[in-house]
Structure 1
Amino acid sequence: MKKLIFVAAVTMGLSAILAGCGDSKTEGSSDGESLKILAAHNQTSPDNPYQTGLLKFEEVLEDSNANIEVEVHAGTLGTEESELVEKLKLGAADVIVVSPGFMSQTGVKEVDLLALPYLFESYEHWESVVDGEVGDQMAELINEKSNNDFKLVGYWSAGVRHYYGKKPIESMDDLKGLSIRTQTSGVVSDYWTQAGAVPTSVAWGELYQALQQNVVDSSENAYPYFVQQNHHKTKNGKFISETAHDYTTRLMLVNGKKFDAMTDEQKEALLEAATASVEAEREAVYAQEEEYKQKAIDEGAVVNEIDTTKFQELAIPIQDKLAVDIGAEEIVEQINSLRK
């Protein structure tokens, strides 16, 4: 659907993957035991792009000569990203995929920039940012400000997010008073609140039921994710309005301290596997965007395109305020300079 823009320097600038847990030995150990790695994401569908990415990571790493085994967990270590972040920090998971919002809660506030509504205008723009200098800067900040608890080894996409709910929206006025399942703190929450909606917290695994039983009026996500969960078939998920408010970023993270304890050969192999996983995951997302949009339509969903001019205008002061608050004006300027 979109052409990947890969920059080799990015993966060189990003530190690579980490760690086994328990009594696993590194390759250089005398008993020759393999290093075991638990890799986890929060999605439960086997067709999800996250699963595609981590399975590619497993394949490439296990085909290397680094004597590493990978165990992929699709939602079985937690369907909440906060759980996965905590498990990574404690060593109960070794590789995770998480949104920028949860990283900002750990003290790396700059990463919240990547979650700003309407920060990116296209996949090409997004890739030029995360695969360039800004992406490298974010990786360094995550490592430094987390005291080496986390290393970023790749930027994944989670598609283009749109509104879906119990009624279509044509303008911002249509959002007034609607509860929407989204983040309930930070810039994302601020945006939807200022748009007139009511941000509401619902666990991803409980969202189908919440939409079906009128617990929440609407939600927002990308086609591959909410269609795979059949949200479009619920009472409050039928109407999809293409707001395209977020070309989403997901962070592939490892535990920095565990990574540092690995052999050079293991580090190199893990970095190569991470790079392969990024490419595979993005390709899956881009291919599934149109596939799952059509599936939703075929199964009764109603899709409408809208003029997003007013929505974008609302986002600009929120972007500017966050940049000033966290001292990241130059980063935002860099991002905007890469617009076509």
Structure 2
Amino acid sequence: MRKLLLLASAVLVLGILAACGGEETEDSSGEGSDSSIKIVAAHNQTDPENPYQDGLVAFKEYAEAESDGQIEVEVHAGTIGTEEAELVEKLKTGGADVVLVSPGFMTSTGINEVDLFAFPYLFESYDHWENVVTGEVGDEMADIINEKSNNDFKLLGYWTAGVRHYYGKEPVNAIEDLEGMTIRTQTSGVVADYWEQVGAIPTQVAWGELYQGLQQDVVDSAENAYPYFVQQDHHRTPNGKYISETGHDYTTRFLLINGQEFDNYTEEQQDIILQAAEASVEAEWEALYNQEEEYKEKAIEEGAEVNELDRQPFIDLAEPLQDEAAKELGVEDLLQKIRDAK
């Protein structure tokens, strides 16, 4: 009798445990609803007013709100790397989950096709740029990045770092004014080739060291967009006082996530991340466009001298270089599509 009672009790306990197990809630992917993730998102700019920061904060706010806190986003503004090469490496090795990088630094990973977006005078306006990155060319480049990285990198969206101009110790009104001028820019690829063609000397200086480089005559000049170099006070140095609006680059930046990690997230988490990326694109574009004029005015107020110039001779010099580089990279069809989108 005692053995029968013990057996009955054991069956009852097993039944209760089974019932409790069957009540565990699951999400649409079959994983427990209490699963949560932490995303480390990073850019290389240290100024909190930078458009990059606005974009990643928008990403964070959207992801955390829509996931009811199940997705936590930790934003790093230059705190885990002020060089984009560092951020690319951290994305590959797991030190970061979402990063922002430029085409020049992406080529170091072997995805040379992205250098297309760094071609000088590729775009003639922000409207032209937006049409390209939100259209067929943007989609094709996203596929190239994902496939050639073996899913290490998945493109979440295209950001911009503004339209880049020359600034230096002397104003530029014609190509001849650049002869012999050292300029902080990329020192390889089509960007370096272009500056060499105009007679300048491409010189490598880390972004965090550029203020000192301009102040101490290490380089004669540099090139960047107003929100970036004015926030760093480059225009207040002797070799940054003269700003010539060359408008040679309507810049493209890639918002990337580790594709391997992304594939491990639930479908719901993936959807939220993709929507958060869209929110970040909108916020970053708006912040950048607003700051372009704001920081131009600030530079002038603080003593910088700005001049416009005839860009056509610069454009004419760039087009054959674009053709040559596109052929070498195997992106001639994409280059033509970009030109047709004007």
Aligned partner of 2:38 among 36, 39, 49 = 36
Corresponding position: 1:112 with 2:115 = yes
CA distance in structure 2 between the partners assigned to 1:179 and 1:193 by the alignment: 10
CA distance in 2, matches of 1:241, 1:258: 44
Summarize deviations over 1:285-305 as a string: whole Å, max 9, x none: 100000000000000000000
Q: Distance in 1 between matches of 2:292 and 2:67?
A: 36
1:100 corresponds, among 103, 109, 129, to 103
Alpha-carbon separation, structure 2, partners of 1:31 and 1:131: 34
SS of residue paired to 2:63? helix
Distance across 2 between alignment mates of 1:29 and 1:137? 33
Partner of 1:236: helix, strand, or coil?
Answer: coil
Structure 1 residue 104: Cα displacement: 1.7
SS in 2 for 1:101: helix
Secondary structure at the aligned position of 1:71 is classed as strand
SS at match of 1:183: coil
Secondary structure class of the residue paired with 2:307: strand
Q: How far apart, in 1, do the equivalents of 2:167 and 2:158 lie?
A: 26
- Counting only pairs closer than 5 Å after superposition, residues 312-331 of structure 1 correspond to structure 2 as 312-331=315-334
Q: Following TM superposition, by how much is the alpha carbon of 1:101 offset from its aligned partner in structure 2, in angstroms?
A: 1.1
Corresponding residue for residue 8 of structure 1: none
> SS of the residue aligned with 1:158?
coil
Moved more, 29-38 or 141-150: 29-38
CA distance in 2, matches of 1:276, 1:214: 41
Q: Corresponding residue for 1:268?
A: 271
Paired residues, number: 313
Instruction: Please list, as runs of the form range in 1=range in 2, the aligned pairs for 1:230-269 lying within 5 A after superposition.
Output: 230-269=233-272
Tell me the residue number matched to 1:46.
Answer: 48
Aligned to 2:229: 226
2:31/2:266 contact within 8 Å kept:
no
TM-score normalized with structure 1 length: 0.90
CA distance in 2, matches of 1:241, 1:31: 56
Change (3 A) 1:28 1:226: farther
Structure-1 separation of matches of 2:53 and 2:331? 33
More displaced, 326-335 or 44-53?
Answer: 326-335
1:194 alignment counterpart: 197
Are residue 283 (structure 1) and residue 278 (structure 2) matched?
A: no
Equivalent positions of 1:1-340 (< 5 A) are 32=34, 34-65=36-67, 67-339=70-342
The whole-number CA distance in structure 1 between the counterparts of 2:30 and 2:170 is: 60
Secondary structure of the 1:220 match is strand
Output one character per residue of 1:233-272: Cα deviation in whole Å (capped at 9) or x when no partner: 0110000000000000000000010101110000000000
Larger Rg: 2
The one-letter amino acid paired with 1:192 is W
- In structure 2, the residue corresponding to 1:97 is in which secondary structure? strand
Opposite residue 130 of structure 1, the aligned amino acid is V
**2:181/2:201 contact within 8 Å kept:** yes
RMSD: 1.2
Q: Which deviations, in whole Å up to 9, do the C-alpha atoms of 1:61-118 show, x marking residues without a partner?
A: 0001261000000000111000000000001000000001111221111110000000
Query: What amino acid does structure 2 have at the position aligned with 1:54?
Result: L
**1:245 & 1:251 partners in 2: Cα distance?**
19
TM-score, normalised via structure 2 length: 0.90
What 5-or-longer segments of structure 1 have no aligned partner?
1-26
Shift of 1:327: 1.8
Looking at structure 1, the residues matched to 234 and 211 of structure 2 have their Cα atoms a distance apart, in angstroms, of: 6
1:199 partner letter: P
Task: Find the aligned partners of 2:81 and 2:338 in 1 and give their Cα distance.
Answer: 33
Task: Report if aligned partners of 2:37, 2:71 keep a CA contact under 8 Å in 1.
Answer: yes
User: Is contact 2:182-2:219 (8 Å) kept?
Assistant: yes
Equivalence for 1:10? none
What CA deviation, in whole Å up to 9, does each residue of 1:208-256 have, x standing for no partner? 0100010111000000000000000011000000000000000000001
Which deviations, in whole Å up to 9, do the C-alpha atoms of 1:95-142 show, x marking residues without a partner? 000001111221111110000000000000000000000000000000
SS at match of 2:73: strand
Deviation at 1:32, TM superposition (A): 2.9
Aligned partners of 2:130 and 2:42: how far apart in 1?
A: 24
Tell me, which stretches of 5 or more residues in structure 2 are unaligned? 1-28
> How far did residue 31 of structure 1 move?
9.0
